[in-house]
Chains A and B, each alone.
Chain A
Amino acid sequence: MSHDHSHSHGPGEACAHDHGHDDHNSPEYIQKTIKKYLAVGGILFGGTVLTVAMYYVHIPSVAITIAVALLIATVKAGFVAGVFMHLSDERKMIYGVLICTVFFLIGLMALTIWAMHDQPFQTLIDGKPA
């Protein structure tokens, strides 16, 4: 949504977000974005086809398969979030929230995985100390 620039600001508050381009409400702008949405839809379809195709091709390395599949998924997710959800053109506040979220999510995953793998006292496999 756009700014209502005529709105008077409260004392001591500044306008946090400023954007140069034309009004987001104008029909021309919307028309333009519609084209963008359709293009992104196409990209998403393409990405899906690519992922599935890769599965049938059978890349020998499991690590590469996983990496590529996740990469494609991330790119697709980027398009959905960036364009459909207008994240590419969002307010600072929302970036702040999302950055925190991602940081904590990575913390959760990485630290848990690290903790599960730093268990030097895990011993005794088949009767013999490991």
Chain B
Amino acid sequence: MEIPYTAKPRPDTGLYNAKLGIWLFLASEVMLFGGLFSSYILLRVGADLWPHGMLSIPIGTFNTFVLIASSVTVVMAWASLKLGNPGKFKAYMAATILCALGFLSVKSYEYYVKFTHYDVWFKDDATAEKYFKAAYGEKGTEETRKQFVERFHLHNTKATYDPAQIQLAGHIEGNPLCTNLKKLVGAKQETIKFTPDAPLGSHEHPHAIEVKLSDVQRLSSYVPAHSTFFAIYFTITALHGLHVLGGAIVLAYFLLTVDKWWKKAPEQFTNRIEVGGLFWHFVDLVWIFLFPIIYLL
């Protein structure tokens, strides 16, 4: 028994099976990411405050270049096979996989940076102001308010916010990963050493300050639980990352088995590469939207 149209296209549709299959699958992927993008839009439109510039644009841009490059190499890999050149195919495919790994490493680094960066909210105004001053000197309250305004693009400095609503951002000594108030209190810790972020327009970190946990209302690293922004950022990019990983594994499998397949069924193998490439381009395409929406806007 043999299933028809695995290598040659069916005349009336002009398609071989796998190509139709992958396009159908991609259609469902469009709806999957579409659902997530819709959620993003709705949550953002409905939000009181939405942060900006929380992610490193140079890093994001770099990763965009990496993905685009991989898209070029994967299509070149396919074209090389079309020209009957498995040697070149290997080189291009290897480059593609390297790009994928590069992308994932950079992404992991970005995650790591976020997981060790903290925001602290204080119990009441007076306490908050006390710590703002400890962190940034006499003008501490103004400085943190400025940071707040900058973060949420509220270039209307006349607006008044109760300081207890404003968070102090920085690092905890020892760079703990994803800890929170409950965990710290649970570990019988009473104070933390906290290095606030550099004031706006400067790169110099202020000295670490001692923060009493009993003064803290909420403490969160930049994880999904931090805020809706980070929640959607991590969810979508993680899902996208999983697609990159999955795609890379499949492409690597093709790279490793090319010799065998090229001898046995060159046409079918070329089709597989085309199909794998289609998936890969789609992953790239998602990122093309993801990057401006999450990093820039």
Count how many chain A residues have C-beta atoms less than 8 Å from C-beta atoms of the other chain: 56
Q: How far is the CA of A76 from the CA of B30 in the complex (A)?
A: 16
Q: How far is the CA of A3 from the CA of B10 in the complex (A)?
A: 8
Cross-chain pair count, CB within 8 angstroms: 144
Task: Report which B residues bind A (CB closer than 8 A).
Answer: 8-9, 11-16, 19-20, 23-24, 27, 30-31, 34-35, 37-38, 41-42, 45-46, 57, 61, 64-65, 68-69, 71-72, 75-76, 79, 82-83, 271, 274, 277-278, 281-282, 284-285, 288-289, 291-293, 296-297
Q: How far is the CA of A73 from the CA of B291 in the complex (A)?
A: 9
Q: How far is the CA of A46 from the CA of B223 in the complex (A)?
A: 32
- CB-CB under 8 A from B292, the residues of chain A are 51, 69-70, 72-73
Q: How far is the CA of A66 from the CA of B289 in the complex (A)?
A: 12
- CB-CB under 8 A from B271, the residues of chain A are 1
Query: Of all chain A residues, which has the CB nearest B282?
Result: A85
CB distance from A122 to the nearest CB of B (A): 12
- CB-CB under 8 A from A31, the residues of chain B are 83
- Contact A30 B83, beta carbon cutoff 8 Å: yes
CB distance from B27 to the nearest CB of A (A): 4
- Contact B35 A93, beta carbon cutoff 8 Å: no
Query: Of all chain A residues, which has the CB nearest B34?
Result: A105
The 4 closest A-B pairs by CB, nearest first: A41-B72, A91-B14, A69-B292, A105-B34
Q: How far is the CA of A2 from the CA of B284 in the complex (A)?
A: 25
Say whether A38 faces chain B, with CB atoms less than 8 Å apart: yes
- CB-CB under 8 A from A100, the residues of chain B are 27
Most buried by A among B281, B292, B293: B292
- Contact A108 B38, beta carbon cutoff 8 Å: yes
Per DSSP, chain B at the interface is: helix
Choose among A9, A45, A72, A81 the residue that contacts B12 (Cβ–Cβ < 8 A). A9
- Contact A1 B274, beta carbon cutoff 8 Å: yes
CB distance from A32 to the nearest CB of B (A): 10
- CB-CB under 8 A from A105, the residues of chain B are 30-31, 34
Choose among A33, A51, A91 the residue that contacts B79 (Cβ–Cβ < 8 A). A33
Q: How far is the CA of A15 from the CA of B64 in the complex (A)?
A: 41
Q: How far is the CA of A126 from the CA of B59 in the complex (A)?
A: 43
Q: How far is the CA of A15 from the CA of B14 in the complex (A)?
A: 8
Q: How far is the CA of A102 from the CA of B27 in the complex (A)?
A: 9
Say whether A118 faces chain B, with CB atoms less than 8 Å apart: no
Choose among A4, A15, A101 the residue that contacts B27 (Cβ–Cβ < 8 A). A101
User: Quick one: given A4-B9, A80-B71, A94-B15, are A112 and B27 in contact (CB under 8 Å)?
Assistant: no
Query: Of all chain A residues, which has the CB nearest B153?
Result: A62
Chain A 24-50 residues near chain B, CB threshold 8 A: 25, 27, 30-31, 33-34, 37-38, 40-41, 44-45, 48
Q: How far is the CA of A113 from the CA of B40 in the complex (A)?
A: 11
- Contact A15 B12, beta carbon cutoff 8 Å: yes
- CB-CB under 8 A from A80, the residues of chain B are 71, 281, 284-285, 288
Most buried by B among A38, A48, A112: A48
Q: How far is the CA of A17 from the CA of B16 in the complex (A)?
A: 14
Say whether A130 faces chain B, with CB atoms less than 8 Å apart: no
- CB-CB under 8 A from A51, the residues of chain B are 291-292, 296
CB distance from A59 to the nearest CB of B (A): 11
- CB-CB under 8 A from B284, the residues of chain A are 80, 84
Query: Of all chain A residues, which has the CB nearest B37?
Result: A109
Choose among B24, B42, B281 the residue that contacts A113 (Cβ–Cβ < 8 A). B42
- Contact A7 B8, beta carbon cutoff 8 Å: yes
Query: Of all chain B residues, which has the CB nearest A104?
Result: B31
- CB-CB under 8 A from B42, the residues of chain A are 112-113, 116
CB distance from A114 to the nearest CB of B (A): 11
- Contact A7 B11, beta carbon cutoff 8 Å: yes
- Contact B41 A38, beta carbon cutoff 8 Å: no
- Contact B16 A15, beta carbon cutoff 8 Å: no
